[in-house]
Amino acid sequence: MASSSPSSSSAVKRLSNLNNHLCPTNSNPLVKVSAQVSQALSTGLPVVALESTIISHGMPYPQNLETAKEVEAIVRDNGAVPATIAILDGVPCIGLNLEQLERLARMGKSAQKTARRDIAYVVATKRNGATTVSATMFFAAMVGIPVFVTGGIGGVHRHGEHTMDISSDLTELGRTPVAVVSAGVKSILDIPRTLEYLETQGVCVAAYKTNEFPAFFTETSGCKVPCRLDSPEECARLIDANRKLNLGNGVLIAVPIAKEYSASGSLIESAIQQALTEARGKNITGNAETPFLLARVNEITGGASLASNIALVKNNAAIGAKISVALAQLLK
């Protein structure tokens, strides 16, 4: 992992020593931003948004807490400030302290999986919500965080041409100017149709150091991308141009999983087909389907898919932080 510049690292370390209490720093009184994130944003330091559904719904406790802490540490080690986003007791929080991270991790699936459509309800009823890609993008844009790191985005579900089951992540990318760094689209989904839908939404889809769109657990999907980026600086220039042109949409930067963690495509596909058959037999649909499929694929592969999932999130965090640093330097 490449080291960050001395000035960036020292600034982030100084911010780490701040009391990470919550305080409002934007015009919306319903949203609270941590002191560390607030100061970083106000001084032009790089900030990386992180979702919370992966903590509550992606893996069991305490593995979820350890992964969340490790991902935040990777962001810091690469010169940026992490801002994990969640809704706690009806309050959207941008940047969580350790106590809040642990609370969310212990909640697990009792925290509501919160997409854009659910935000108002979770806030109004003072519930706890773990933000998906769409909700995290919404809040990141609200407070001015331009880069968001996740594992994989949602997409068009298999047989989506009949069910119309299309993730709100895709429409959010079409209307919210935040760059999303992910390992592509989860391979349990219909990747070609997902890319077609993103094109319809006007979303720039780029792959990092490859010409092919990655498929989450594997490096390749068989789908070519319209543009390739080979460095954090190239990514930063694309994000900067997209924002300055006021295109109004996000950018998807797809980062392939590291070769040593790439699962066998045939193994994963076989597990996915089995999981899909079971989901249909149990009538599991909507936002419950993806967590079920990922959990079953992990069981069928003997834990290999979860290990790959954690590895790709960490890799994305390192690259996303470098992109955020490059963008902050460009904006100076």
pLDDT tens profile 253-308: 999 998 888 766 667 778 888 998 998 899 988 778 878 888 898 889 887 778 88
**What pLDDT band is residue 18 in, cutting at 50, 70 and 90?**
very low
Structure tokens at 185: 């689209």
Comparing CA positions, the residue from 323, 218, 203 lying closest to residue 266 is: 218
What's the CA gap between 75 and 3, in Å, rounded? 11
The count of C-alpha atoms lying within 13 angstroms of the C-alpha of 152, restricted to the half-sphere facing its C-beta, is: 31
Structure tokens at 238: 């694309």
Q: Which of 186, 219, 234, 314 is catalytic?
A: 186
Comparing CA positions, the residue from 152, 158, 160, 194 lying closest to residue 174 is: 194
Comparing CA positions, the residue from 320, 215, 225 lying closest to residue 265 is: 215
212-268 pLDDT, tens digit each = 999 888 888 889 999 999 999 999 999 999 999 999 999 999 999 988 887 666 677
51 is a catalytic site residue: yes
Is the model's pLDDT at 6 over the cut of 90?
A: no
Q: Which of 32, 51, 72, 314 is catalytic?
A: 51
What residue type is 163 in one-letter code?
T
Q: What is the pTM of this model?
A: 0.88
**Residue 8 pLDDT:** 55
**Radius of gyration of the CA atoms of the chain, in A:** 18
Neighbours of 164 (CB within 10 A): 9
> Under DSSP, is residue 260 helix (H, G, I), strand (E, B) or coil?
helix
Give the mean model confidence (pLDDT) for residues 15-30: 52
What's the CA gap between 98 and 32, in Å, rounded? 16
Residues 202, 142 contacting (CB under 8 angstroms): no
Phi-psi region of 103 (alpha: psi -120 to 50; beta: other; left: phi over 0): alpha
**Residue 304 pLDDT:** 77
Which of 134-148, 164-178, 301-315 shows the lowest mean pLDDT across its residues?
301-315
User: What's the chain's average pLDDT?
Assistant: 89
**What pLDDT band is residue 72 in, cutting at 50, 70 and 90?**
very high
The residues that bridge with 85 in the sheet, in sequence order, are: 94
Is the model's pLDDT at 100 over the cut of 70?
A: yes
Is the model's pLDDT at 14 over the cut of 50?
A: no
Structure tokens at 164: 């119309």
Q: CA dist 93 to 41, 63, 129, 219, Å?
A: 15, 22, 10, 34
Share of the chain above pLDDT 90, in %: 69
**Residue 292 pLDDT:** 87
259 is a catalytic site residue: no
Comparing CA positions, the residue from 97, 99, 102 lying closest to residue 84 is: 97
**Residue 201 pLDDT:** 97
**Residue 238 pLDDT:** 98
Which residues have C-beta within 8 Å of that of residue 6, sequence separation ≥ 6?
none
What residue type is 291 in one-letter code?
P
Share of the chain above pLDDT 70, in %: 91
